[in-house]
C-alpha cells in the first residue's frame, strides 16, 4: 500500500481533516478537533504501550472494571489519557468508556460541545504482558438536541447514528484507521515527526475470503448454526465449500479487524452457552458499533448473526452482542444459517 501524496507531499492527518472540512464539508470544526484530540491521545497511549517492561506499567492494576474484568495498569492509564485529552476542548458534551461504570461528564469549568465520545481505551489488554498488538477503539455520536448534561440514556443510540468511528492499533507500527462516513482511511504514525501520515485511502474488504477468526475453544458451547458454519470451513475442499480455509485468532479485536480490513476475512465472536445470560462477549457501543461502521464503509458486512449491528437499538451502555463482521459474502452466509435456524425453531414452536 503506497503512501498517498498531494503533489509529492505526504498528507498528514491534520491536512486530511482540514480538507475534509473545507473542501468536502464532511465535518465541522468541532468534529475535526475531536478527531485530532483522540489521535493525539492515541499517540500518548502508543508511547506508554511501547515502553513495555521499561515503563513500569505492565501487569494488573489490582482493580476490576464494570465488566468484572481485572484491569491492567495500562487500561487505567489509557483511560486517563483519553479523559484528560478530551475534557477541555469544548467539543464534547460527555464521554463513556469500557473502563467506567457511568458516563464521564465534562467538568463545569470547561465549555461543552455537541458530541459524545465512547471508547474502549485499550482493547485486547490481556495481550499486553506478552507483547501482542492491542488497540484503542472509539465511536462518535451527536449529543441529543437541548441536552446539556447527558446521562446514560443519551448515549443509547443505534450504531447507524455514529458520525465517525475509528481505532488505533499498537503493533509493529502504530496505525490509526478512521471513517467519517465517507470511506475508510488509514494513517501511520511517523515517530520522527510525531504525526499521523495518510497511508491508505478508501480501504476495501474483499467480498470473499479464505480466512476466518474465531476462538475455537468455545466450539462445544456454540449454537447449531454456528457449528454448521465452522464445520463447513473445517471440511475444506472435501466439504460443501469445496475449498480450504485458514484460521487466525489474535484475541485482540483491533488486530483481527485490522487484518481483515487489510486482506479480508471473517471475524466471529458468537453467542455461546458458556454463559447463557450473556448474548456475546463483545460490547455494542464501543467495540461492535465502531468496528461495524468501519467494516461497512469498507464494503464489508457486520451482523449479530440475526440483524445488522448498526440497527441494534441499545438498551444499556455496556450491553454485549454477538459479532460477525468482515468479507460480505461470508458474513451473509453465516447470518443466513442463523436466520434459517431461528425460522426453523420458530416454526417448531408454532
Ligand atoms: P477470548 C479482548 O479481551 C476482547 O474483548 C477482544 O479484543 C477479543 O477479540 C476478545 O476479547 C478475545 O476473547 O475469549 O478469545 O479471550
Q: Which residue has its alpha carbon closest to ligand 1 atom 1?
A: 251
**CA–centroid distance, residue 213 to ligand 1 (Å):** 11
Cβ–Cβ under 8 Å, residues 118 and 95:
yes
Structural domain boundaries in the chain: 5-200, 211-349
pLDDT digit string, tens, across residues 180-194 = 999 999 999 999 999
Residue nearest to atom 9 of ligand 1 (CA): 253
- Confidence check: pLDDT of 304 > 80: yes
Give CATH for domain 211-349. 3.40.190.80
Q: Are 303 and 336 in contact (CB under 8 A)?
A: no
Please list the alpha-helical segments (H only) found in the chain. 13-22, 29-50, 73-87, 152-155, 224-235, 253-263, 289-297, 328-349
Instruction: Output phi, psi for 278, to 5 deg.
Output: -105, 125
| pLDDT digits 0-9 by tens, 34-43 | 999 999 999 9
Taking only the tens place, the pLDDT of each residue in 261-293 is 999 999 999 999 988 888 899 999 999 999 999
Mean pLDDT to the nearest integer, 337-349: 92
The ligand 1 site (C-beta within 6 Å) comprises 123-124, 126, 215, 251-253, 269, 281-282
Ligand 1 pocket, mutate which of 219, 253, 259 (most atoms under 8 A from CB): 253
Q: How far is ligand 1, taken at its centre, from the CA of residue 125, in Å?
A: 9
- The candidate with the shortest Cα–Cα distance to 270, out of 260, 281, 261, is 281
The fold of 5-200 is: Fructose-1,6-Bisphosphatase; Chain A, domain 1 (3.30.540)
Q: Which of these ranges, 24-33, 193-202, 261-270, has the smallest mean pLDDT?
A: 24-33
In this prediction, residue 161 carries a pLDDT of 98
Share the mean pLDDT of the chain. 94
Q: How far is the CA of 69 from the centre of ligand 1 (A)?
A: 12
In the predicted model, is pLDDT for residue 126 greater than 80? yes
Q: Given ligand 1 and candidates 168, 251, 285, which is best to mutate, with the most ligand atoms within 8 Å of its CB?
A: 251
Q: Whose CA is nearest to atom 4 of ligand 1?
A: 124
Q: How far apart are CA 186 and CA 327, in angstroms?
A: 18
What is residue 6's predicted lDDT score, i.e. its pLDDT?
65
CA separation, residue 94 to residues 59, 106, 186 (Å): 29, 5, 27
C-beta pairs of 294-297 under 8 Å, 24+ apart in sequence: 294/165, 294/166, 294/167, 294/177, 294/179, 294/184, 294/257, 294/261, 295/205, 295/257, 295/260, 295/261, 295/325, 295/326, 297/179, 297/181, 297/182, 297/183, 297/184
| Interatomic CA distance for residues 123 and 169, integer angstroms | 9
Nearest atom in ligand 1 to 256's CA: 9
Q: Can you give the pTM of this predicted structure?
A: 0.95
**26: Cβ contacts below 8 Å, ≥ 6 apart:** 20, 180, 181, 182
Amino acid at each position: 500500500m503506497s503512501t498517498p501524496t498531494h503533489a509529492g507531499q505526504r498528507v498528514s492527518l491534520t491536512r486530511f481533516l482540514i480538507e475534509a472540512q473545507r473542501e468536502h464539508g464532511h465535518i465541522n470544526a468541532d468534529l475535526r478537533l475531536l478527531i485530532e484530540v483522540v489521535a493525539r491521545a492515541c499517540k500518548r497511549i502508543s508511547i506508554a504501550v511501547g515502553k513495555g517492561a521499561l515503563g513500569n506499567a505492565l501487569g494488573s492494576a489490582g482493580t476490576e472494571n464494570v465488566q468484572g474484568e481485572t484491569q491492567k495498569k495500562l487500561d487505567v492509564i489509557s483511560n486517563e489519557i483519553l479523559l484528560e485529552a478530551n475534557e477541555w476542548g469544548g467539543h464534547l458534551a460527555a464521554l463513556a468508556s469500557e473502563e467506567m461504570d457511568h458516563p464521564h461528564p465534562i467538568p463545569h469549568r470547561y465549555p461543552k460541545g455537541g458530541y459524545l465520545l465512547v471508547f474502549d481505551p485499550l482493547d485486547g489488554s490481556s495481550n499486553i504482558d506478552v507483547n501482542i498488538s492491542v488497540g484503542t477503539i472509539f465511536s462518535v455520536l451527536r449529543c441529543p438536541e437541548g441536552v446539556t448534561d447527558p446521562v446514560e440514556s443519551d448515549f443509547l443510540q443505534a450504531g447507524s447514528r455514529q458520525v465517525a468511528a475509528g481505532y488505533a492499533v499498537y503493533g509493529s507500527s502504530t496505525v490509526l484507521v478512521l471513517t467519517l462516513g465517507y470511506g475508510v482511511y488509514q494513517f501511520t504514525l511517523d515517530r520522527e515527526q510525531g504525526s499521523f501520515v495518510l497511508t491508505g485511502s478508501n480501504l476495501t474488504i474483499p467480498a470473499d475470503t479464505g480466512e476466518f477468526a474465531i476462538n475455537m475453544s468455545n466450539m462445544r458451547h456454540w449454537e447449531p448454526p454456528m457449528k454448521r458454519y465452522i464445520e463447513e470451513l473445517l471440511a475444506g475442499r472435501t466439504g460443501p465449500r469445496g475449498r480450504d480455509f485458514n484460521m487466525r485468532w489474535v484475541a485482540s479485536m483491533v488486530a483481527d479487524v485490522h487484518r481483515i480490513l487489510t486482506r479480508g476475512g471473517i471475524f466471529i465472536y458468537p453467542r455461546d452457552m458458556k454463559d447463557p445470560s450473556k448474548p456475546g462477549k463483545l460490547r455494542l457501543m464501543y467495540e461492535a458499533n465502531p468496528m461495524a461502521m468501519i467494516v461497512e464503509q469498507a464494503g464489508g458486512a457486520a451482523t449479530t448473526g440475526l440483524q445488522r449491528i448498526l440497527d441494534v437499538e441499545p438498551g444499556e451502555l455496556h450491553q454485549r452482542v454477538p459479532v460477525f463482521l468482515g468479507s460480505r459474502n461470508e458474513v451473509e452466509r453465516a447470518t443466513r444459517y442463523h436466520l434459517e435456524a431461528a425460522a426453523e425453531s420458530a416454526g417448531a414452536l408454532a
